[in-house]
A and B are shown apart, each in its own frame.
Chain A
Amino acid sequence: MANKRSNTMMKPFGRLSITSMIAVIGAAACIPDAPPRPDELRGTSYPAPLEKPDFSLIRTNGDTFDFRAETDGFVTLLFFGYTHCPDVCPIHMANIAAVLRNLPPDVSRAVKVVMVSTDPDRDTPDRFGPWLAQFDPSFVGLIGPIEEVNAIQSRLQLPPASKYGDDPGSYTVGHSARVIAFTADNRAHVSYPFGTRQNDWAHDLPLLVKAEWETR
């Protein structure tokens, strides 16, 4: 459904989206379970899909988490943030958790949420684990050296996180507020900026789960 908002959201990639839209509309006509067209999704479409990165970081429970292997076949929402953030980070996590609770189980079970800390100095497993679990105990929290975290972000076309201030009690961390959505084809076709609302997630997640993405 084309609407004002999805057009607005596509503005950054306006020209490219129109080109790719025409290509996909052609394909959609003959394939029944075709991937959603960019204009059917409320997220921001990538001009070229992102490959799912291969990395391992430590989970808040102490296990090593091999991102590519552990999320294979799932719709995976990847977000970078920190627990001293009282606004952007908890709002994103709470919105996604609330929507997953209300979606049919066949959809919500197909979605994994992974948050990587951009503040490993303060986000100890003891702090980050319960912080994330209060939104949804299935959410995966990952911790690693900030250089490694920023290298992963750079592979995903995200800006590095940066620290402002020195006081350990009150420094802030600037970071991307974008949630990247990988689909079962292990690529990301779309991402979600801050401001994505619960009804946007509720609209897009079933489409992302049910679409049969072209496998190569």
Chain B
Amino acid sequence: MRLNWMALAAAAVSCSSPDSSDSPAQITRSGTLEITDAYAPAPASADVGSLYFTVINHGGEADTLVAIETSAGGTASLHDMVRIDGTMRMQATGAVEVAPSHTLRMAPGGYHVMIEHVTVRPEVGDTLDVIVTFARAGQVELRVPILTYSDVARLLEDPGDRRH
């Protein structure tokens, strides 16, 4: 349901794991962290892009996402979406903690990695190389498929109420 979806996307951490059964997402493990549902839309402009992934912490200790680097160049930082008075506005979050048995889910309208000042604009079919740095787990490398915005939206929409 939509409200769950919004809540999932907006909450820092939630306890549900995403249903990736019909998505081609790779699963990357590093220690007790699992990273799934990593997708990036081909940027709609030459300079601004985004990237989404989900971090599941299976361990007994919290870990913190502290930095992101991508092969698109420029700067990459975690953003979330603030809803005030009927508007939506993205803002940088800084480091974000993923508590034990919790999930940090990025999805349109919620958390996303914002890539600014892109120097290498990826196209559909390309792969984005991403290095995510965690305080405990260290650096995790991801190879993220570049899809259309439309496909990213379909893959990351509310997993609890998929109709087709």
B91 within 8 A of A: yes
Chain B, interface SS category:
mixed
Contact status B86-A176, CB under 8 Å: yes
User: Which residues on A sit within 8 Å (CB–CB) of B5?
Assistant: 195
A9 touches B150 (CB 8 A): no
Mask of A55-68 contacts with B, CB within 8 angstroms, 1/0? 00000000000000
**Contact mask for chain B residues 36-61; partner A; CB cutoff 8 A; 1 contact, 0 none:** 00000101110111100000000000
The answer, yes or no, to whether B88 is at the interface (CB within 8 Å) is yes
- Contact residues in B for A90 (Cβ distance below 8 Å): 41, 44, 149
User: Do A97 and B150 touch (CB < 8 A)?
Assistant: yes
Tell me if A173 and B89 are in contact (CB < 8 A). yes
The contact of B117 among A5, A9, A158, A169, by CB within 8 Å, is A169
Q: Chain B contacts of A95 at CB under 8 A?
A: 149-150, 153
| Total CB contacts across the A-B interface at under 8 A | 112
Specify which of A134, A170, A173, A195 lies most central, judged by the most chain B CB atoms within 10 Å of its CB.
A195
Interface size, A (range): 35 or more
Cross-chain contact B91 with A131 (CB below 8 angstroms): no
Q: Is the CB of A174 within 8 A of B87?
A: yes
Please report the C-alpha to C-alpha distance between residue A94 and residue B79 in the assembled complex, in whole angstroms.
Answer: 21
Q: In the bound complex, do residue A5 and residue B1 qualify as a contact, i.e. CB atoms below 8 Å apart?
A: yes
Q: Which of B106-123 contact A (CB under 8 A)?
A: 108-109, 112, 114-117
Chain B residues in 8 Å Cβ range of A98:
150
4 tightest Cβ-Cβ pairs between the two chains A and B:
A174-B89, A94-B149, A86-B50, A98-B150
